[in-house]
Structure 1
Amino acid sequence: MKKNPALGIKDPYELNETQYKAALDLLRGQRKLVGKYWHDAFVQIDDFTNEGVVASSSWQFMANILKSKNRPVATVVPVEGATGWADSTMMHAEAKNPNCAYMWMEHSLNPKLQGDLAAWFGSVPSVPAACKGNKLLGDDGCARQGYNSFERISFWKTPTTKCSTQNNACVPYHKWVSDYIAVLGGR
């Protein structure tokens, strides 16, 4: 999106075949530089602590744990931006007790709970009022967790063939998955 503006990428989750191929080629090239892709947060933390890993994409959660162990780590959102998601609390479409689920979701919007959760997980609270006065999060917690970087974050959405930026001609998610597995395997 940023490296090659001529591709015309407007949304990193809505790629036509040409854009997708360029992204896939970039991933394949990067794979030669990447020692490991993590699927477990604590394995990544251990690798930073014991295996000499010095740079990686990550979550604030891992950085916060490493900092709590006095490890010399810092985080940054690259100038190109980053991807992220917001799915800490969800409700099943066919919940057996939707009223209870809605009550839980309403409770979860409490600023104290949101601040405590953000402090523990390394996320940004969904309630801005949680950013001030929370003992666990601290008054700088929201800034540390990325609150001021939202405009540089492309939030996850499942890639589909029907998309708004490519006249409904996007590469579907199942292809992303199979190609990513191939990249992990070195292909």
Structure 2
Amino acid sequence: MRRNRTLLAVAAASVLLLTAACGSSSSGSKGGTSASGFKVPDIPMQKEIGPGEGQVNLVAWAGYVEDGSTDPKLDWVTEFEKETGCQVNVKVAGSSDEMVSLMRTGQYDGVSASGDATLRLIAAGDVAPVNTSLIPNYVDVFDGLKNKPWNTVNGKTYGVPHGRGANLLMWRSDVVKPAPDSWSVVWDANSPYKGKVTAYDSPIYIADAALYLMHTKPELGIKNPYALDDKQFQAAIDLLKQQKTVVGEYWSDYLKAVQAFKSGSTVVGTAWQVLANMAQKEGAPVQTTLPKEGSTGWSDTWMISSKAKHPNCMYKWMNHIISPKVNAQVAEWFGEAPANKKSCALTSDKNHCNTFHAEDEQYFSKVWFWTTPVKDCLDGRGPKCKDYAAWTQAWTQIKG
């Protein structure tokens, strides 16, 4: 069982809350103002860990919290429960928006949030700062995952990194020739692969268009694909509308994406390395690359609820899930680069970290990790950028 990152349309209440939380740079409210301008609630950070409360309630992506029920060989929950006395209860979420909604109920202690959800949770006060000194394994997390815009605000850390991956260009080598090294192959309105191009079905995919425009239309002045003013945003939307004429299918279910490449109904488009691995195992002649323009990507963070009823068990879980052995198991099962640098020596596939570039910071320097778009531009230009609500509305219109 692995995750489906489908992003559902944001519920009206969630959109309004995000806009209210992230759309102002006023410094008159309680708490601080983040570097990107939105108000950050003043939520205390835990100072010490006491005895476990007997259970911990988690919201997680499929494949992140395995207890042996999916496969007896996949179990990093039972050991945790025995060692801590904390019974693990997990709600598997199918999207970032679902995660945000679930966390706002106050019924869950923690969440494995992606960067397109983290700032929403921070801005709304749904999660608390994390005292990393209480998490011994945090010291071994790759520096490239610490203190990032999606998990750190005003110098406060809001979670522990779980893993990361890039959104890659994948193609069938028996059809797409020569081998592409640019995203142009998916944006060309006159593509010879019209009807067999695929794109990721999510509002956050607007950033992929912006990233391409950063390199092909520098006059737009795009410095960050998640920070788009009216003109830049419209250029990205226009490019996406043009792309729609060649897209055969937008994908959100990774299994369907694999089958589409296997059958040949899709021959080129955005994918994850795990999709390529699966397709190749099933005999599909596919290859992947990180194009010369770079790419977008994702990095997940375990965050603790500001209303956690079992905070001690949650802190124990955060330390457990990024421990070398467990982080290696999760990363290998899901298909991503682990967060813990010691995990690379513990994967059953000794090439795993090479395949997913876990130790290659130069590789990841070309990846723009998913970050929630906010009104106050992430590149420091002030309150002139389109927020996530606008991205969601535009994506709905693009899809029709």
Q: Normalized against structure 2, the TM-score is what?
A: 0.44
Asked if the contact 1:14–1:159 (Cα under 8 Å) also holds between the matched residues in 2, the reply is: yes
Q: Percent identity?
A: 36
Q: Distance in 1 between matches of 2:262 and 2:375?
A: 41
Deviation for aligned residue 1:61: 2.1
- Specify the code of the residue in structure 1 equivalent to 2:320: H
Distance 1:110 1:157 in 2: 25
Query: How big is each residue's C-alpha offset from its partner over 1:19-47, in whole Å with a ceiling of 9 and x where there is no partner?
Result: 11111111111111111101211111121
Cα displacement (A) at 1:82: 0.9
Corresponding residue for residue 220 of structure 2: 7
Are 1:142 and 2:357 an aligned pair?
no
1:61–1:120 contact (8 Å) kept in structure 2: no
CA 62–89 in structure 1, closer or farther in 2 if over 3 Å, else same: farther
Structure 1: gaps spanning 5 or more residues: none
Checking the alignment, whether the CA contact within 8 Å between 1:112 and 1:130 is kept in structure 2 is yes
Measured after TM superposition, the shift of residue 91 of structure 1 is 3.2
1:34 aligned partner: 247
Q: Cα deviations across residues 91-147 of structure 1 (Å, max 9, x unaligned)?
A: 333222111111111001111222222222111100122123421x42x22221243
RMSD: 1.7
In the comparison of the two structures, how many residue pairs are matched? 183
How is 1:1-80 mapped onto 2 (pairs within 5 angstroms)?
Answer: 1-80=214-293
1:93 aligned residue: 306
Q: Which of 1 and 2 has greater Rg? A: 2
Give the Cα separation in 2 of the matches to 1:93 and 1:144.
Answer: 37
Q: Provide the C-alpha distance between the structure 1 equivalents of 2:305 and 2:283, rounded to a whole number of angstroms.
A: 39
Structure 2 unpaired stretches of 5+: 1-213
Which of the numbers 153, 156, 159 marks the counterpart of 2:367?
Answer: 153
* 1:155-182 CA-partner distances (Å, limit 9, x unpaired): 1111111124222210111111111111
CA offsets 1:42-91 (integer angstroms, 9 cap, x no match): 11112112243111201122112112223222211111111111126443
For 2:394, give the aligned amino acid.
Answer: D
Instruction: Point out the structure with the larger strand share.
Output: 2
For 1:32 and 1:112, the matched residues in 2 are separated by 46
Quick one: distance in 1 between partners of 2:301 and 2:262?
27
Whichever structure has more helix as a proportion of its residues is 1
Output the TM-score relative to the length of structure 1: 0.90
SS in 1 for 2:296: strand
Q: For residues 93 and 143 of structure 1, do their structure 2 counterparts lie closer, same or farther at Cα, with a shift above 3 Å needed?
A: farther
**Deviation larger for 154-163 or 46-55:** 46-55
Q: Is the 8 A contact 1:37 1:184 kept in 2?
A: no
Query: What is the distance in 1 between the residues matched to 2:307 and 2:299?
Result: 21
